[in-house]
Structure 1
Amino acid sequence: MLLFLLAVEYGYAQTISAEQSYAANSPGVGMVQTVFSGTVYVSKVEMNETRFNRLVDSVKRLDTSGTMFTPEEKLDIVVKALYNNPFRFFTRTTEYFRQQHRIFSSGSGFFITGDGYFITNCHIIDRDNAYIRRQFILSTFKDVTDANIRSLERSWAMTLSDEQRGLLNDAYSVIYSQVSSMIIFDLKKEIFVQFRIDSDKGDFVTRRLPATVIVSGKAMPGKDVAVLKIDSVKQMPTLPVSTDPMVRIGSQVLVFGYPEPVTSNAFLAKETNIEPSLTAGVVSAIKRSIGGWPVIQMDAIITHGSSGSPVCNSRGEVIGLATFGSLEQKTGSLAAGFNFAIPVSVVKEFLDSAMIHPEMSRASIAYNKAIGLFFEGYYFRAKRMFESAARLNPSYPLLTYYIEESNRKIKTGEDKESFSQQLVFRILAVLMILGGIYVYYRWQQQRQKKNPSR
C-alpha cells in the first residue's frame, strides 16, 4: 500500500497529459552521435582532353545544323555525355588525393540512472563497413568533385548556376565512383551523447560528453539495443522504466526524440536542435520479429534520427525503444504510421546481463513530484520541490522556467493553496494540538482524583 501511495505521489501510477509527460521526461532525453574519422586516399582522375575537346566541338557544330541551342542546353548535352560514358573521357592515374574525413551517425536515447547509464539503438553506434565506406565515398567525392567543377568553370570562363553545378556534381560523383579507387586508413570511432542543461541565465545550453559501450546487441533483425555509459555525471534527469510487461493495444504512446527533418531544418535556430520533439499515437498491434521476440507496432511518427527514442505510456513510463519503420513497396520511401518499437522486456535482457538496474535519480524524483504539483495547481508546494531538485542538480533542464512560472502564478493568486488557506490550516492545526494537550491534561486530573494516594 505504501509503495502504491508513493507511486501516486510521484505521478507514475496515474494517467498524465502529454504536456505534463513532456515536461517530466524531455529533460532525460539525449541525442547520440557517432563520429567515424579516417585518412582517405583517392586516386586522381585525368580527363582525356582530346576526346573532351571533340565532344565540345560537336556541341558547337549543332548551331550550324539549323537548330539553335542555349548555353544551358549545350551544357546539359556535355554533362549527359560525361555521365553516360565516364570511361571514355576519364582515366585513373597513379597519383592520390590525401584527405582527412569525418562522417556522422545520429539518433536518440534516454538516461535510466542518475550516474549516466543511457539507452539507445545499437545501429546508431555500430555501422557496418559497407555503410561507413559508402559515406566516406560520398563525403570524399563531394570535395573532389567541387574542386573539379571550379576548375571546369575557370577553363570554360563561365559561372555555372546552382542547377548546373548540381548536374555536374552528380556526373562527377558517378565518374569517381566508377573510375577512381579509394583507400581508408586509421579509421576511428567516437561516441558522444548530447543533452541540454539550464544555464545561469535560464536558457538551454548543449553539453556533449563521450560515451562508452557497456553492452549492445545487433542491428535489426537482431535485438537492436545498446547500453552506453557517460562518466563523471550525477543526478542526471532520468526516465521511469515500466515494470508492467503488458502493452495494451489501443493505448496511447508518446515518443520523444530528434527526428532528422527537424534537426537538419535550415529554417530553425541551431540552439533549438537539442530540444526533443514529441509525437503521439496509439499501440496498433503487438507483432513478432523474425527473430522470434515481440515488437510494438504504433502509429506515432518516427523517421531518421528518431531511432533510440523512448516510447512512453500515458503514465509517463518507458515501454519501448523506437527502432524501425516500414517502407512503401512501390516507392521505397518510409510509410507513415507503421512504425515499431522494441519493448522494455527486451531492453531489460541487456540491462540484466550487465547487472544494471534502472533507477530514478533523486533530482528527477523531486522534479517529477514538483511537475505533478505544478500541473495540479499547487504552485507554492511545486516551487519548493523545484528548489529541492535544484539543490541536487542546479543545471536540471526547465527548472528555471518552472520556478519562474510558479512564482508568477503565486503572485497572481492562482495557487490552490492561497496564503489565507494555509493560515487557516495552520490555525486549525495549532487548535488541534492545543485541544489534544487540554484533553490530556484533563485526563491526568481525573486520574489523580481516582487515585489520591498516588
Structure 2
Amino acid sequence: MLSKAQLRFQTFLWLSALFTTLIPFNTAKSQTTETGQYQVATKSSQAKTVKNNPAKLSPDNLVAETVKPSVVRVVLGCEAKVYLPKNGKVYKLSQIISHGSGFFVHRSGTIASNAHVTQFSAEECQYILKSELSDQLKTDKENLEDVEKDLKWIENKPINLVYLPNGEKLPFKIIISGDPVGEGKDVSIIQVNLKNAPALKLADSEQVKLMDQVIAVGYPGVVERLPVDWKENSFQEATFTKGIVSAKKNLDPDIPVIQISAAAAPGNSGGPVLNEQGEVIGMVTFGVPDSNNYIFLFTSNTIQEFLQKAGIINEQSLVNRQYQEGLQFYNQGNYSQALQRFKLVKSLFPQHSEVEKFLKNCQEIIASKI
C-alpha cells in the first residue's frame, strides 16, 4: 500500500502532467541558471533599430508590455543531508523538481499562484530524493534497501524560489494556501522580499461573459524542451496566447471555474489570464492533456477570497500605472513625458525587466532631434 506521501506525490504528478512542468535534475541547471539583470543592447545596435518615429504599439502590444514584468516563474525543489552511521558519511542531496507560474497582486511582493504549484512537504521531498541518494550510495558500494533503516535525515526541506523576468531569483514563503484541484480551492498566496512590485489588478470575474477575448500568460515548459538551443535569457520570456471564454462552470462543492480556448501547457499553472483591459480574470489551473480547447481557470474572485483572508488589498501598483502612462506617451510620440515616467519606474523598481529598453529609446530619439 502506498504511503500518504506517495499518494500525495502521485496526485502532484497527475497535476504536473497537466499544468506544472516537471524538471529533470540534470537539465535544471541549464533552465534555471541566473543570468543577472536584463541586458540592454549596446548603443550602436540600438541606433540600428530605434527610429525617430518608431512603430506604434497596438492595444494588445500595450497590454503585453504592461503585464510582462508582473508574471513570474515559481520554482520548487528539495534539498537534504542524510547521515549513514555505517561509513560515517553525510550525503548532500538537491534537486529542482518543477516549475509553474505566478503574478504580483500587491506592491509589497505578494504573488498569486496555484496551491499545487507551491505546496511541497518535507515528507514528499524525502520520497523524491531517494533516487539521488540511491545513486550516491552505489558509488560507495552501498545499497539503499540494505541501509535505509539506519539512515538519519539530518536536514530535509523544500526549495521555494521565484524567478523574476529579469533573471533574479528570490526565496518565497507561503502566506495562505488552499488545496490542489480535486481537494479544494487551488489558490496559493506567496511572498517575496520586494518593494514597489508591478502588481496587476484583479477584475470581477462575475462580469466575465461567454466569447470574451482573453490572454493567457505564463512559462510553458514545453517550449523550453524543444530540441533546439535556446539563449539563456529565453527562459525569462513569458509566453502570451489569445483565446476566448468558452464556458463558465462550477466544481463541486460550488467552486466557480472559467473555461478558455487560449493555449496553455505544463508550466502555465498559476499564470494570469487577462481581459482586454489587462485585468486578471483568473489563473490557469487544470485542463485536458494535449488539448488547448479545455483549459480551466480558478477565478479572480476566488483569488480575492484568499487575499481578504490574508488582509491584503489588491490594486494596480504605482509602478504599473506609471509604466502604462509612459507607454501611452511613447505611443503618442511624446518622448519627454514618456521618459519622465520610465525614469520613475526604474527608480522605484530597478528589477523591472522592460523599462530600460524604452527609456534608452526615448533618450536616443530626443537626442536625435536636438
Q: What is the TM-score normalised by the length of structure 1?
A: 0.60
Give the aligned partner of residue 123 of structure 1: 116
What amino acid sits opposite 1:196 in the alignment?
Answer: P
Which of 219, 234, 252 is the equivalent residue of 2:180?
A: 219
Which of 42, 65, 68 is the equivalent residue of 1:26?
A: 68
Shift of 1:390: 2.6
Summarize the Cα distance change of 1:129–1:38 in structure 2 as closer, same or farther, 3 Å threshold.
closer
User: C-alpha deviations, 1:237-267, integer Å up to 9, x for none?
Assistant: 2212214531111111112211112345561
Q: Is the 8 A contact 1:112 1:359 kept in 2?
A: yes
Q: Distance in 1 between matches of 2:301 and 2:119?
A: 22
Name the SS of the counterpart of 1:112 in structure 2.
strand
Which of 106, 122, 126 is the equivalent residue of 1:113?
A: 106
Name the SS of the counterpart of 2:292 in structure 1.
strand
Shift of 1:113: 1.5
Which of 27, 37, 59 is the equivalent residue of 1:17?
A: 59
Summarize the Cα distance change of 1:306–1:96 in structure 2 as closer, same or farther, 3 Å threshold.
farther
Structure 1 or 2, whichever has the larger Rg, is: 1
1:360-379 mapped onto 2 (5 Å cutoff): 360-379=316-335
Summarize the Cα distance change of 1:130–1:189 in structure 2 as closer, same or farther, 3 Å threshold.
closer
User: C-alpha deviations, 1:261-282, integer Å up to 9, x for none?
Assistant: 2345561122321221212211
What amino acid sits opposite 1:289 in the alignment?
Answer: L
Q: Is the 8 A contact 2:205 2:282 kept in 1?
A: no
User: C-alpha deviations, 1:145-199, integer Å up to 9, x for none?
Assistant: 7x69xx9xxxxxxxxxxxxxxxxxxxxxxxx8999968672321232211034xx
Establish whether residue 39 from structure 1 lines up as the match of residue 81 from structure 2.
yes
What amino acid sits opposite 1:115 in the alignment?
Answer: S
1:172-187 mapped onto 2 (5 Å cutoff): 185=153, 186-187=155-156
1:68-87 mapped onto 2 (5 Å cutoff): none
Establish whether residue 389 from structure 1 lines up as the match of residue 345 from structure 2.
yes
Q: Distance in 1 between matches of 2:349 and 2:336?
A: 20
Summarize the Cα distance change of 1:386–1:292 in structure 2 as closer, same or farther, 3 Å threshold.
same
1:37-436 mapped onto 2 (5 Å cutoff): 37-40=79-82, 99-104=91-96, 105-127=98-120, 132=125, 135-141=128-134, 185=153, 186-197=155-166, 206-221=167-182, 222-231=184-193, 233-243=194-204, 245-264=206-225, 267-327=229-289, 334-409=290-365
More helix by share: 1
What amino acid sits opposite 1:188 in the alignment?
Answer: K
Q: Distance in 1 between matches of 2:76 and 2:187?
A: 15
Name the SS of the counterpart of 1:19 in structure 2.
helix
Q: Is the 8 A contact 1:109 1:310 kept in 2?
A: yes
Q: Which ranges in structure 1 are unaligned for 5 or more consecutive residues?
A: 1-15, 43-93, 152-175, 198-205, 328-333, 414-418, 420-454
Give the aligned partner of residue 69 of structure 1: none
Root mean square deviation of aligned Cα: 3.1
My pick for the range that moved more, 233-242 or 309-318, is 233-242
Q: Is the 8 A contact 2:122 2:157 kept in 1?
A: no
Q: Distance in 1 between matches of 2:346 and 2:125?
A: 42
- Size of the alignment, in residue pairs? 307
Name the SS of the counterpart of 2:108 in structure 1.
coil
Name the SS of the counterpart of 1:337 in structure 2.
coil
Name the SS of the counterpart of 2:230 in structure 1.
coil
Higher relative contact order (CA 8 A, sep 6+): 2
Summarize the Cα distance change of 1:305–1:26 in structure 2 as closer, same or farther, 3 Å threshold.
same
Q: Is the 8 A contact 1:214 1:354 kept in 2?
A: yes
Sequence identity, in percent?
A: 25
Summarize the Cα distance change of 1:287–1:375 in structure 2 as closer, same or farther, 3 Å threshold.
farther
Q: Distance in 2 between matches of 1:322 and 1:131?
A: 24
Q: Is the 8 A contact 1:325 1:340 kept in 2?
A: yes
Summarize the Cα distance change of 1:184–1:247 in structure 2 as closer, same or farther, 3 Å threshold.
farther
Give the aligned partner of residue 161 of structure 1: none
Summarize the Cα distance change of 1:244–1:295 in structure 2 as closer, same or farther, 3 Å threshold.
closer
Name the SS of the counterpart of 2:352 in structure 1.
coil
Q: Is the 8 A contact 2:122 2:156 kept in 1?
A: no
What amino acid sits opposite 1:273 in the alignment?
Answer: F
Q: Distance in 2 between matches of 1:178 and 1:287?
A: 48
Shift of 1:382: 2.1
Q: What is the TM-score normalised by the length of structure 2?
A: 0.73
Q: Is the 8 A contact 1:235 1:364 kept in 2?
A: no
Give the aligned partner of residue 443 of structure 1: none
